[in-house]
């Protein structure tokens, strides 16, 4: 990426620490990114993976022994969030690119927490979060991506989809009765419908990429055991009761079907222009670091910079300055 402190009148300097962080973030992001779905196997992705932090040691937090890792990684996340925030400021000012972040996961995998923590430092004006739950009658009367595509981010903006059109190849695939509610002409509902949807999604995401929207998709990969633990916490902790739904427990009976659907989805829709990040989600601190790192990577992959003024623009500024000083 270009350092905003180098060419054409850019005003911000990245410190050496920032540049090291950006480099490390891109490496961490790459570790969990799937850019080609061919042959993708979910079983090869460990939900409890904590990558290079395994030994309590990491180039960016060299002295963090296992005991102090929690604090150290918290500080690291805070630094990551600060970098996301600076990149977002440029994204917004430049008003050319936009970023679409799609979050998919089983219940209690930590979507909400990841969104909350990673986006905590960013300017709310430049960001919009949309949650997609069971569709309304109006939504069911439209094509399957309609309710999401109409909320795609404007230039300069970060758009977050908390669930998305991907539910259409996940919950709708596991529960075929939802497909029946979609009022599709019967001759269009064949066994090929999921592959057709993958193809349509790929086309849509390529279209978005060609129009300046950077698309990144996150599958927060939580294990069945960890989900159980978190459901029990939601039951036992009164401040978490509101998050608990008995229906979520019933949904565990379909775990294997969901995993097959996720695997197939990633096979069918992981592309170079819209990669999936398969984020280990049994450790929340690691999930959040990977999500932050992937956002840094996405924003660093394009040439973000503050709009540079041409000569006439600079002359206008000089003139305005002179007038102000003359008051
Ligand atoms: P979350 O579970 O994301 O934290 P929540 O529990 O607040 O959010 P819910 O009311 O559970 O929200 O809504 C999400 C539910 O809506 C999920 O079970 C999801 O599978 C379902 N859903 C989302 N999109 C669709 C769709 N297109 N068709 C059917 N069900 C859908
Ligand atoms: Mg739910």
| Atom 5 of ligand 1, nearest CA residue | 133
| Atom 8 of ligand 1, nearest CA residue | 133
In a domain, 8, yes or no: no
Tell how far the Cα of 107 is from the centroid of ligand 2, in angstroms.
6
Tell how far the Cα of 153 is from the centroid of ligand 1, in angstroms.
21
Please give the pLDDT value at position 69.
Answer: 73
CA distance 206 to 196: 15
Tell how far the Cα of 125 is from the centroid of ligand 2, in angstroms.
27
CA distance 75 to 78: 5
In a domain, 296, yes or no: yes
- From 43, 31, 48, 54, select the one nearest 226 (Cα to Cα): 48
Ligand minimally distant from the alpha carbon of residue 170? 1
Please give the pLDDT value at position 59.
Answer: 67
Please give the pLDDT value at position 7.
Answer: 43
In a domain, 35, yes or no: yes
Q: Which residues of the chain have pLDDT under 50?
A: 2, 4-10
Determine contact, residues 160/101, Cβ cutoff 8 Å.
yes
What are the residues facing 158 on neighbouring strands? 99, 127
Tell how far the Cα of 111 is from the centroid of ligand 1, in angstroms.
12
Range of the domain at 94: 16-326
Please give the pLDDT value at position 5.
Answer: 41
Please give the pLDDT value at position 114.
Answer: 96
Q: CA dihedral defined by 76, 82, 83, 87, rounded to 10 degrees?
A: 160
What are the residues facing 130 on neighbouring strands? 161
Please give the pLDDT value at position 148.
Answer: 98
- From 230, 283, 294, select the one nearest 66 (Cα to Cα): 283
In a domain, 2, yes or no: no
Q: pTM here?
A: 0.94
In a domain, 68, yes or no: yes
Tell how far the Cα of 225 is from the centroid of ligand 1, in angstroms.
21
CA distance 246 to 251: 9
Question: How many folded domains does the chain comprise?
Answer: 1
In a domain, 24, yes or no: yes
Residues near ion ligand 2 (Cβ under 5 Å):
107
Which residues, judged by CB distance below 6 Å to any ligand atom, belong to the binding site of ligand 1?
A: 107, 111-112, 132-135, 163, 167-168, 171-172, 178, 245
Segment 308-313 long-range contacts (CB within 8 Å, at least 24 positions apart): 308/8, 308/9, 308/10, 309/9
Sequence-distant (≥ 6) Cβ neighbours of residue 28 within 8 angstroms? 51, 52, 289, 290, 293
Please give the pLDDT value at position 9.
Answer: 42
Ligand minimally distant from the alpha carbon of residue 134? 1
| Atom 17 of ligand 1, nearest CA residue | 133
In a domain, 11, yes or no: no
In a domain, 10, yes or no: no
CATH number of domain containing 52: 3.40.50.300
């Amino acid at each position: 990426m270009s350092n905003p402190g180098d060419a054409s009148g850019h005003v911000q300097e990245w410190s050496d620490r920032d540049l090291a962080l950006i480099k490390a973030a891109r490496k961490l992001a790459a570790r969990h990114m799937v850019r080609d779905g061919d042959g993708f196997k979910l079983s090869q992705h460990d939900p409890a993976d904590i990558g290079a932090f395994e030994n309590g040691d990491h180039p960016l937090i060299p002295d963090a022994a296992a005991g102090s890792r929690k604090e150290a990684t918290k500080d690291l996340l805070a630094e990551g969030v600060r970098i996301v925030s600076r990149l977002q400021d440029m994204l917004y000012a430049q008003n050319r690119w936009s970023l679409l972040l799609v979050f998919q996961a089983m219940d209690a995998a930590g979507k909400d927490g990841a969104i909350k923590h990673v986006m905590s430092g960013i300017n709310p004006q430049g960001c919009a979060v949309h949650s997609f739950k069971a569709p309304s009658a109006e939504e069911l009367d439209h094509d399957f991506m309609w309710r999401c595509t109409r909320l795609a981010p404007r230039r300069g903006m970060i758009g977050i989809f908390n669930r998305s059109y991907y539910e259409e190849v996940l919950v709708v695939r596991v529960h075929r009765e939802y497909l029946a509610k979609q009022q599709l002409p019967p001759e269009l509902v064949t066994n090929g419908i999921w592959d057709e949807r993958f193809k349509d999604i790929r086309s849509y995401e390529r279209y978005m990429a060609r129009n300046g929207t950077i698309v990144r998709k996150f599958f927060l990969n939580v294990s069945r055991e960890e989900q159980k633990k978190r459901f029990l916490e939601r039951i036992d902790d009164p401040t978490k009761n509101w998050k608990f739904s008995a229906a979520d427990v019933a949904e565990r009976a379909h775990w294997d079907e969901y995993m097959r659907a996720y695997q197939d989805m990633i096979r069918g829709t992981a592309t170079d222009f819209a990669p999936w990040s398969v984020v280990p989600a049994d450790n929340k601190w690691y999930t959040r670091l990977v999500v932050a790192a992937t956002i840094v990577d996405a924003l660093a992959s394009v040439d973000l910079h503050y709009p540079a003024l041409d000569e006439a623009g600079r002359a206008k500024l000089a003139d305005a300055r002179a007038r102000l000083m003359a008051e």
